[in-house]
Amino acid sequence: MQQGMLHHIELYVSDLTRSVEFWGWFLEELGYELYQEWDAGRSWRLGGTYLVFVQAEDRYLDVPYHRKRVGLNHLAFWADSRAHVDALTNQLRERGVPILYESAHPYAGGNSHYAVYFEDPDRMKVELVAP
């Protein structure tokens, strides 16, 4: 692997079953494959990078995630084209996932930035952007 490339990201989630359903579908649409499975977690891999989702312990569920707090704001993924962004936007809508910044979609990031923004089950912002 190339020095400096991202190896993995590990996210703790409030409901593993719900997150696996959401993230599994989305990541597989982007070409990721299921990589690891265990009672408290799952991971998906694309090339040398993988994303891990782990069930948070009950004692840490009292303060929910919020992207405006210190820490991770959002994850952004490349689509392969604007048509890919549009297709996944339609699938998100069919799944009942609200599109963020709907009034500015698909240019919520600026006129040259073609993307869809949405939230995962824990309200983490996700971006899918066309090259």
116 forms bridges with which residues in the sheet?
128
CATH number for the domain running over 1-58: 3.10.180.10
Look at residue 111 in the predicted model and tell me its pLDDT.
87
Confidence of residue 2 (pLDDT cuts 50, 70, 90): confident
Mean model confidence pLDDT for the chain? 96
pTM: 0.93
CATH architecture assignment, domain 73-131 = Roll (3.10)
List b or e across 59-72, with b for residues whose CB sees 16 or more CB atoms inside 10 angstroms. eeeeeebeeeeeee
Q: What is the pLDDT of residues 53-88, one digit of tens each?
A: 999 999 999 998 999 998 999 999 999 999 999 999
From-to residues of CATH 3.10.180.10 in the chain: 1-58, 73-131
